[in-house]
Structure 1
Amino acid sequence: MSDTAVPPSPTSPHEFPCGSCGARLEYSAGTRRMRCPYCGSEEKIPEATREVREHAVETLFARRPAAQVAGHRFVCQGCGAHIQGDHLARTCQFCTAPLVTDDSADVQVPPEAVLPFTVERRAAHDSLARWAGSRWFAPNSLKKVNEAERFKSTYLPHWTFDARTVSDYKGRRGEYYWVTETYTAQENGKSVTRTRQVRKTRWYPARGRVSRSFDDVLVNATTQVAPEKVDALKPWPLEKARPYAHEYLAGHEALRYDVEPEQGLGEAKRIMARTIERDCKRDIGGDEQRVTSVDTAYSEVTGKLLLVPVWAGAYLHGGKTWQVVVNGCTGEVQGERPYSAAKIAAAVLAVVLIVLAVFLYVRYGG
């Protein structure tokens, strides 16, 4: 939420003036309305006149110049993040470095869909506070993430891909059988002969064909947040995605993608390959399966750029930047945390003093 009301440009399609006081309206999480943060006036977001569409990947690869997503564009002088928003931001939520105006050419794939925020700022603060409170020996600087300038509602770009696949595989099917083995054991100082059942595997060659339809294979399209943190924020309620409209970004920011669609499709195929291998093993059957080769043909490959919501913040500790992100739909928190040497030392000292006090009491006061 903006700290001060800044009158919008009446000609900007990305800024929405309040009809009552002239301040900027902001999208209200979990609703289909924009609300004025100063006078409380509301305006309904128009119903979408179209459905979310999938685009042939050739269209994505063409990178036709996109309509600007938000009124102002910035680039971080620290991590290089390209951020868009309808207010004048000062610092980067991903590394705390200063932001400057971004005048680079805007030739990117336009977003097709947006997953709107449902977790408002206060709920995000509460989730972050609970997470921070559960981190033992966390430094006090972690609490500063909740400050308005450090903790911002931000849409992260993702690619989604659909495809039909047909895969020819070769492998081996393992079937268990049992044999009786004789062995010698020592019992009461004597050697005795015993038998036991031992499982063996008999392998047979296998080959076949499997097919599958993939829908909305999700690929992170930014390197500004560690992939493992973004993956850990899943699942996303993709069924609630809506056709992109500027209104859903009002009062929020959006991160431009830096993972190109070709890279995104390559990662999507690696994700699909893991599912295809499981399909091959299921098709092989038996007790064990080994897949030695898979040849996959792809058809009807489509994709789109989707924006998903997070509350993002960063703080400095020990000369290093630490990131924290909160899922804007579920409140799930993922972040980095250092350990406070001072708190650890204090805890160790407290334990030593307690042990010493108990010893002295038992020795001299008991």
Structure 2
Amino acid sequence: MNQYPCSKCGANVEFAPGTTVLKCPYCGAETPLEATGARVREHSYAEFAGLPRKPVASLAAYTFTCRGCGAVTQSDKISDRCQFCSAPLVADATTGEMVAPEAVLPFGVDRAAVREALRGWASSRWFAPNSLKKITEAESTHSTYLPHWTYDARTQSQYTGQRGVHYWETETYTEDGETKTRQVQRTQWWPASGEVARDFDDVLVAGTGKVAPKYLEKLEPWPLKEAEPYRPEFLAGHETLRYDVEPESALETAKSRMADVIEDDCRDDIGGDEQRVSSVHTSYFDVTFKLMLLPVWLACYLHAGKTYQVVVNGRTGEVLGERPYSAAKIAAAVVAAVVLITVILIAVAASKNG
């Protein structure tokens, strides 16, 4: 387990979003993160597939011994806070039977900026209940690194399909007893087949199912080229979920995303005015992967017995999430609209009578 004491007061320091320093939350002292010279690496998937490995669901939680208060706690997170003194705790994720993180995209948005972003988001939800403003409270948001898999591959695909070419025919028809003609578009189909190739780089797949995928996908694209080689210091003071989506199933998801791009390539290769793709057989070469940690602020909001989840991009401050609707506000808006329409109709009627 890793903890980082402040050089001045001895308290545990935390990574400060948007900087390259570890900052003490008590005395404000800063410790710069020195460059290590490490580089982000891709790993051969073929070599990984041949290694013995237990599924993550069967692995025990991490055991943390807090150096601040001495409490011993367990968590399935890679980094967390002590339940008793809130000191940051970071597990050694480079040992054991799990895939170790290779890269981390550090937080760039701090808590103050997140609260401002959430405040703007909440105020723009016209029909949300007033209690939605609670989402901006500090205790409701957590800076959390979420695990993601990335995959690279060279692909070659053979396809079969049809090329459609438009042409025009003159059609005769009768309207009101009169014979007329018009031009009608037809399509002639020709068989087509061929081969396309494409290289994929950093196809991203979420490594956790604890956050709604529909929101994580909308947070893309991420500036993955700005990612740093993994080092535990970036995790200090922030939660980090360990992956629960295995790399094997994530690879299948990545291939399905590649397949959509490959089909578009096939259509471009077929040409013509329309295309039909009947079959695509793809071969994958030099498949590599890595585990990355991406920064997301998570907020949960309880309303009428239901929990709503809101996510904030830890680099851009973009806010996405669920929101409840206020029946009272909607009813008031409907009544106001009816009153307005009634007033307009009365005014129109009065002007006509006048």
| TM bin (shorter chain) | 0.7 to 0.9
Deviation at 1:28, TM superposition (A): 1.5
In the alignment, the residues of structure 1 paired with residue 315 and residue 32 of structure 2 have an alpha-carbon distance, to the nearest angstrom, of 20
- Which of the numbers 115, 124, 130 marks the counterpart of 1:134? 124
Asked if the contact 2:115–2:137 (Cα under 8 Å) also holds between the matched residues in 1, the reply is: no
Deviation at 1:158, TM superposition (A): 0.5
The residue type paired with residue 85 of structure 1 is S
Deviates more, 1:342-351 or 1:314-323: 342-351
In the alignment, the residues of structure 2 paired with residue 258 and residue 231 of structure 1 have an alpha-carbon distance, to the nearest angstrom, of 17
Determine if the alignment matches structure 1 residue 118 to structure 2 residue 112. Answer: no
Asked if the contact 2:312–2:320 (Cα under 8 Å) also holds between the matched residues in 1, the reply is: yes
Determine if the alignment matches structure 1 residue 36 to structure 2 residue 24. Answer: yes
In the alignment, the residues of structure 2 paired with residue 241 and residue 194 of structure 1 have an alpha-carbon distance, to the nearest angstrom, of 67
User: SS where residue 50 of structure 1 aligns?
Assistant: coil
Deviation at 1:345, TM superposition (A): 4.6
Which residue is equivalent to 1:102? none
Which residue is equivalent to 2:158? 168
Deviation at 1:121, TM superposition (A): 1.0
User: SS where residue 149 of structure 1 aligns?
Assistant: helix
Work out the percentage of aligned pairs sharing the same amino acid.
Answer: 55
In the alignment, the residues of structure 2 paired with residue 57 and residue 36 of structure 1 have an alpha-carbon distance, to the nearest angstrom, of 40
Deviation at 1:60, TM superposition (A): 4.4
- Which of the numbers 82, 85, 89 marks the counterpart of 2:79? 85
User: SS where residue 292 of structure 1 aligns?
Assistant: strand
Q: Deviations over 1:94-135 (max 9, x none)?
A: xxxxxxxxxxx9632111000111111111111111111111
Q: Deviations over 1:237-260 (max 9, x none)?
A: 111011000111111111111111
Which residue is equivalent to 2:34? 46
In the alignment, the residues of structure 2 paired with residue 210 and residue 349 of structure 1 have an alpha-carbon distance, to the nearest angstrom, of 59
Asked if the contact 1:15–1:71 (Cα under 8 Å) also holds between the matched residues in 2, the reply is: no
User: For the structure 1 residues 355 and 291, does the alpha-carbon distance in structure 2 shift closer, same or farther, using more than 3 Å as the test?
Assistant: closer
In the alignment, the residues of structure 2 paired with residue 353 and residue 281 of structure 1 have an alpha-carbon distance, to the nearest angstrom, of 54
In the alignment, the residues of structure 1 paired with residue 188 and residue 345 of structure 2 have an alpha-carbon distance, to the nearest angstrom, of 65
TM-score, normalised to structure 1, is: 0.81
In the alignment, the residues of structure 1 paired with residue 101 and residue 223 of structure 2 have an alpha-carbon distance, to the nearest angstrom, of 17
Which residue is equivalent to 1:263? 249
Deviates more, 1:207-216 or 1:18-27: 18-27
In the alignment, the residues of structure 1 paired with residue 285 and residue 230 of structure 2 have an alpha-carbon distance, to the nearest angstrom, of 26
User: SS where residue 311 of structure 1 aligns?
Assistant: strand
In the alignment, the residues of structure 2 paired with residue 107 and residue 152 of structure 1 have an alpha-carbon distance, to the nearest angstrom, of 27
User: SS where residue 140 of structure 2 aligns?
Assistant: coil
TM-score, normalised to structure 2, is: 0.84
Which residue is equivalent to 2:69? none
User: For the structure 1 residues 70 and 308, does the alpha-carbon distance in structure 2 shift closer, same or farther, using more than 3 Å as the test?
Assistant: farther
The residue type paired with residue 336 of structure 1 is E
User: For the structure 1 residues 248 and 58, does the alpha-carbon distance in structure 2 shift closer, same or farther, using more than 3 Å as the test?
Assistant: same
Asked if the contact 2:154–2:198 (Cα under 8 Å) also holds between the matched residues in 1, the reply is: yes
Asked if the contact 1:27–1:35 (Cα under 8 Å) also holds between the matched residues in 2, the reply is: yes
The residue type paired with residue 122 of structure 1 is A
User: For the structure 1 residues 150 and 74, does the alpha-carbon distance in structure 2 shift closer, same or farther, using more than 3 Å as the test?
Assistant: farther
Which residue is equivalent to 1:6? none
In the alignment, the residues of structure 1 paired with residue 210 and residue 105 of structure 2 have an alpha-carbon distance, to the nearest angstrom, of 19
The residue type paired with residue 41 of structure 2 is R
In the alignment, the residues of structure 2 paired with residue 245 and residue 148 of structure 1 have an alpha-carbon distance, to the nearest angstrom, of 27
Asked if the contact 2:64–2:74 (Cα under 8 Å) also holds between the matched residues in 1, the reply is: no
In the alignment, the residues of structure 2 paired with residue 245 and residue 266 of structure 1 have an alpha-carbon distance, to the nearest angstrom, of 28
Determine if the alignment matches structure 1 residue 153 to structure 2 residue 147. Answer: no
Asked if the contact 1:141–1:315 (Cα under 8 Å) also holds between the matched residues in 2, the reply is: no
In the alignment, the residues of structure 2 paired with residue 320 and residue 20 of structure 1 have an alpha-carbon distance, to the nearest angstrom, of 45
Determine if the alignment matches structure 1 residue 183 to structure 2 residue 177. Answer: no
Which residue is equivalent to 1:96? none
